[in-house]
Amino acid sequence: MSPSLQSDRLTWENEELASVEAGTKFQVSAFDFRSDITTSTSGRQFQAILGVSSNDGWTASGSKVFEDKMADLAGRAASLFMISSTMSNQVAIRTHLNRPPNGIICDARSHIMHQEVGAIGQLSGALPLAIYPQNGLYLTLEDIEENIVLSDGTDTCTCPTRLLHLENPLGGVVMPVEEMKRIKQYADKHSLTVHMDGARLWEAVACGAGKLEAFCSQVHSLNLCLTKGLGGSVGSFLVGDSEFIRHAKWVRKSLGGSMRQPGWVAAAGWAAVGEVFGQDPSGQDAWRLRRTHDLARRLAKHWEDLGGRLVVPQQTNMVWLDLDAAGIDEDSWESGGQERGILLHCSRLVTHYQISDEAVVCLEQYMADMMQNLQQRRRLQTRIPRPEAVARLAKTMRRGLELARLQGYRK
């Protein structure tokens, strides 16, 4: 780590300690494992807002400078600032799909299936085919070849596949760059489009899975979120080639996404990128994110050492606990944590850069107490998962791995 980065890290750690000791709002995030979207806006983001242009979004300024910077960081021609990842994904899909009928292949566990209110059908009139990966972790070319519908229009009963939707990471699990490359080559051969929801792609880069440019080069468009592990206050960037972004501006306008003075929020988001991920596409400056991965790895190991099981392997900043196997229902898990000042949601733990070491210790002790009577506790025979999106997602994450085991792909 360079001297300047070391200095930045020490400054940040001192600010963190002072904030927690003073009982400021930062302390709320420090004990919040519900999601990395619970991170609060940092002082550097407010400072960035003060120095930005307040020009109208229609004048191609305001957010334009930050769109150009994001495009450079991703190694692509252009990008477009969006107010949310959902809007970014849906604008991308609608932009790619100009003429029906349109079919989409996606992962059954993906964000667009569980947490975007069915917008594919509402906004694009497309038919999604949601599939479980055979390996239980991420989609492969073989999964796509087995389910794709290729048609020249002579068979008018079919809905041809036009778009391949990838999510990386998905539930904290990383799709390797090499697999993305195989899928992209196949898509180009058959005139298909590949869009990636890379909302947490920063995490994949920070864990050493590949450079940002390497991931971004293997899709036709991608979404990069500012509000999750980066702690940005609002927004995402949609990235692609210049013609795609030109068309996407029309679609964004039709969805009410054109803002009058977008530079303020875009500046805050770009400041979050610089502060938490850094300006190096390799992710070597992203020590804050790497710390969150270390904390997630520590919690996963602690749970397994106590006799617990994970739904899927821990790779980045997410840990999926198999509460069913431990005979712990989600309501008891959450309420028990809240009594100790720990905020939890369903069976998923998400670490972020504002999580404190004290919170991790508290959670480890809570895990130990909950697992103390594991051998005596009867496993729940039947349980209907709660209807929340994350609870449903936990169920699909488990089902994907179980199907892989049944098919002999995993032990």
Integer-rounded Cα Rg, in Å, for the chain is: 22
Strand bridging mode 221-225 / 193-197: parallel
C-alpha of 149 from chain center:
28
* Residue 313 token pair: 């392997």
Distance CA 12, CA 352 (A): 14
Instruction: Please report, for the domain that includes residue 149, its CATH number.
Output: 3.40.640.10
| Tokens representing residue 241 in the block | 């080639």
The CA distance from 26 to 407, in Å, is: 46
Residue 43: pLDDT over 60? yes
* Structural domain contains residue 371: yes
State the residue for tokens 């477009």. Answer: 80
* pLDDT value for 29: 75
Check whether 14 has a pLDDT greater than 60.
Answer: no
Indicate whether 291 belongs to any domain.
Answer: yes
Q: Do 160 and 63 reside in the same domain of the chain?
A: yes
Same domain, 165 and 189: yes
- What pLDDT was estimated at residue 2? 46
**Mean pLDDT rounded to a whole number for the chain:** 88
What is the band of 166 on the pLDDT scale with cuts at 50, 70, 90? very high
Query: What angle is formed at CA 329 by the lines to CA 327 and CA 333, rounded to 5 degrees?
Result: 110
Q: Is 13's pLDDT higher than 60?
A: no
pLDDT digits (tens, 9 = 90+) for 195-252: 999 999 999 999 999 999 999 999 999 999 999 999 998 999 999 999 999 999 999 9
Does 411 reside within a domain?
Answer: no
If asked whether residues 64 and 22 sit together in one domain, one would say no
Same domain, 251 and 165: yes
Instruction: Read off the CATH number of the domain in which 7 is found.
Output: 3.90.1150.10
Please indicate, yes or no, whether residues 268 and 381 belong to a single structural domain of this protein: no
For residue 385, being part of any structural domain is answered with yes
pLDDT of residue 379: 52
> Tell me, what's the pLDDT at 378?
53
Which band of pLDDT confidence, cut at 50, 70 and 90, is reported for residue 261? Answer: confident
Given a contact cutoff of 8 angstroms between Cβ atoms, the answer to whether 82 and 238 are in contact is: yes
**Percent of residues, the chain, with pLDDT higher than 70:** 87
Q: Is the pLDDT of residue 51 over 70?
A: yes
Q: Are residues 270 and 338 in the same domain?
A: no
Tell me, yes or no, whether 77 and 196 share the same domain: yes
- Do residues 268 and 355 both lie within one domain? no
Average pLDDT (13-42) is 62
Residue 150: count other Cβ atoms within 10 Å of its Cβ: 11
Chosen domain end from 231, 254, 277: 277
> Last residue of some domain: 232, 252, 277?
277
Q: Which residues constitute the domain of residue 297?
A: 3-37+286-406
What's the domain count of the chain? 2
Specify the pLDDT at position 20: 36
Whether residues 395 and 326 share a domain: the answer is yes
Residue 100 sits in the same domain as residue 247:
yes
Decide if 53 is inside a domain. yes
Q: Are residues 29 and 52 in the same domain?
A: no
**Does 176 reside within a domain?**
yes
Residue 147 shares a structural domain with residue 32 = no
Beta strand 127-131 with 103-107 is: parallel
> Is 125 in contact with 100 (CB distance < 8 Å)?
yes
**pLDDT at 18 exceeding the cut of 70:** no
